[in-house]
């Protein structure tokens, strides 16, 4: 499959590097999508003209080239998360993709990637979110 790792954060919508368990880790990213209208620029959040920064809680994505807008839910549903990982179960390195939508995994919202070697589910959770343990 040979996924291409991003050169800079500018080309990513989401990027994370996490440790999973004692011997597993995940490097995951989502590339910014090309504008479907002009096909020249990458879509992103609208920029505040005073500060020059993107509006983090915006409910739409805008093309800086032509001004085309897409609702946040529709835009994010068309993206894919790519990841390179070391599986915490089998210890082998691998690559995988999944839909850019968080799902419930053991009580915590996470992007779930499946190990290509052993089939174990590898969660990419939000920062500081621990997977809930079963009570005895």
Residues 50 and 14 occupy one common structural domain: no
Q: Would you state the pLDDT for residue 37?
A: 86
CA distance 69 to 75: 9
Question: Does a structural domain hold residue 19?
Answer: yes
Question: Does a structural domain hold residue 135?
Answer: no
- The burial class, CB within 10 Å (0-12 / 13-18 / 19+), for 85 is buried
**Residue range(s) defining the domain that contains residue 72:** 34-78
pLDDT at 117 over 60: yes
CA distance 72 to 74: 6
Residues 119 and 94 occupy one common structural domain: yes
Pairing of strands 24-31, 12-20: antiparallel
Residues 105 and 84 occupy one common structural domain: yes
Residues 24 and 48 occupy one common structural domain: no
* Per-residue 3-state assignment (H helix, E strand, C coil) for 41-74: CECECCECCCCCCECCCCCEEECCCCCCEEEHHH
pLDDT digits (tens, 9 = 90+) for 37-95: 888 888 888 888 888 888 888 899 998 888 889 898 888 888 999 999 998 888 889 99
Per cent of the chain over pLDDT 70 is: 93
Rounded to 5 degrees, φ, ψ at 72 are -60, -45
Asked whether the beta carbons of 24 and 122 are under 8 A apart, the reply is yes
Q: Would you state the pLDDT for residue 84?
A: 93
State the total domains in the chain: 2
In three-state secondary structure terms, 112 is: strand
């Amino acid at each position: 499959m040979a996924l291409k790792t991003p050169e800079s954060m500018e080309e990513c919508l989401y990027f994370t590097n996490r440790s999973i368990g004692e011997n597993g880790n995940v490097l995951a990213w989502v590339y910014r999508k090309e504008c479907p209208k002009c096909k020249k620029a990458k879509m992103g959040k609208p920029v505040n003209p005073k500060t020059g920064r993107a509006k983090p809680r915006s409910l739409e994505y805008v093309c800086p080239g032509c001004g085309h807008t897409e609702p946040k839910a529709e835009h994010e549903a068309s993206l894919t998360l790519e990841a390179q990982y070391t599986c915490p179960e089998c210890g082998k390195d691998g690559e995988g993709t999944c839909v850019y939508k968080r799902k419930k995994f053991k009580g915590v919202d996470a992007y779930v990637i499946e190990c290509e070697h052993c089939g174990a589910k590898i969660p990419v959770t939000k920062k500081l979110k621990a997977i809930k343990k079963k009570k005895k």
